Amino acid sequence: MAKIPSYAAAAPKAPLGPHTIERREPGPHDVLIDILYCGVCHSDIHQARDEWGGSIFPMVPGHEIVGRVKQVGAHVTKFKPGDMAGVGCMVDSCRDCDPCRRDLEQFCQRGAAFTYNGTEMDRKTPTYGGYSTQVVVDERFTLKVPDGLDPAGAAPLLCAGITTYSPLRQWACKPGDKVGVVGLGGLGHMAVKLAASMGAEVTMLSTSRRKEEDARRLGAKGFALTSDEETFKKLAGTFDLIINTISAPHDYNQYLGMLKVQGTMVLVGVPPEAVPVSAFSLISGNRRLAGSLIGGIKETQEMLDYCGKHKIVSDVEVIPIQKINEAYERVIKGDVRYRFVIDIASLKA
């Protein structure tokens, strides 16, 4: 067991601070990664503050991890020391159940081992995330980060990237489709970039007028303010697909009205409280309301390769770990352009 410096939340209301964790010695199938950068996802905040319930403390958040392979086990074939590697939201699963066999490990029937706020598959050993200097992960759950991608900008692809890529693929986003993206934050800005790269005509639906210029720079053709009731009337029946990334409770019914007949709104944002959906919002126009949780390992690698080919990374603001509590407050205020990424060198200083 190696002792590893990290930042942890000791309890739901506690600010994050320095903490030491233990990582296992790498086994025959494991990769030991020196972490370079870790993105700050809104899910880190929801979980560190126990907003979804059931959080485990102390918690070392972080599931947007990019680093350099330091050491590999005897049976590892995909990686060698020096390679750039990524770790997303999962570090293991049973590998044998129906969802695992269908490359949907996030829905493992025995419960996937999530990167933090969970346990390994032994259901005893706690998992700790990327706000730390090193991680040890089975090579099956370790991703290859394409050469040529900036490592800080690539880190958010491991969650924000796959979480938006996967529903765009599942609902077959194609050139000419009208796609609405709701909420211009970490997930939202990746959704705009990815949908635009797939040829869709993207409209940003935001509460922040000041983000309009950025939305257009990221690839949106249209921009509409959702704080203006007129928007919902003007855009009624417009979109084939809406990717909804809002992290707080809001009225889904209003947004469903902006779908075309048979259009789909996919929820990727996870507001802690439930919100009622009226049957009328769905039956008028055979509209569909769907959800999507990250993506399996195979699709995550496909997304990274796609981003490598299309030179897509996240727009990031790199921070030292000492600024993490301030960064959380700014994310909650919607004041981030568009993902904070921790420079893990600051944890070694």
Q: Is 331 a binder of ligand NAP (CB under 6 A)?
A: yes
d(CA 14, CA 11): 5
d(CA 104, CA 108): 7
Report the partner that residue 293 touches, choosing among Zn ion, ligand NAP, none (CB closer than 5 to 8 A by kind): ligand NAP
- In terms of phi and psi (left: phi > 0; alpha: psi -120 to 50; beta: otherwise), the region of 70 is alpha
Q: Is 244 a binder of ligand NAP (CB under 6 A)?
A: no
User: Residue with CB nearest ligand NAP?
Assistant: 185
**Interface residues with Zn ion (CB under 5 A)?**
41, 43, 93-94, 97, 100, 108, 159
Name the minimum Å distance from CB 203 to ligand NAP: 12
Report the partner that residue 290 touches, choosing among Zn ion, ligand NAP, none (CB closer than 5 to 8 A by kind): none
The 3-state DSSP class for residue 92 equals: strand
Burial zone of 260 (CB within 10 Å; 0-12 exposed, 13-18 middle, 19+ buried): middle
Backbone angles phi, psi at 131, to 5 degrees: -80, 60
Report the partner that residue 93 touches, choosing among ligand NAP, Zn ion, none (CB closer than 5 to 8 A by kind): Zn ion
Q: Is 231 a binder of ligand NAP (CB under 6 A)?
A: no
Comparing CB distances to ligand NAP, the nearer of 296 and 308 is 296
**Which candidate, 165, 186, 164, 151, places its Cα nearest to that of 330?**
186
Name the minimum Å distance from CB 153 to Zn ion: 16
User: What's the one-letter identity of residue 50?
Assistant: D
Q: Is 43 a binder of ligand NAP (CB under 6 A)?
A: yes
As a residue count, the chain comes to 349
The contact set with ligand NAP (CB under 6 A) reads 41-43, 46, 159, 163, 183-188, 206-208, 211, 245-248, 250, 268-270, 292-294, 331, 334, 336
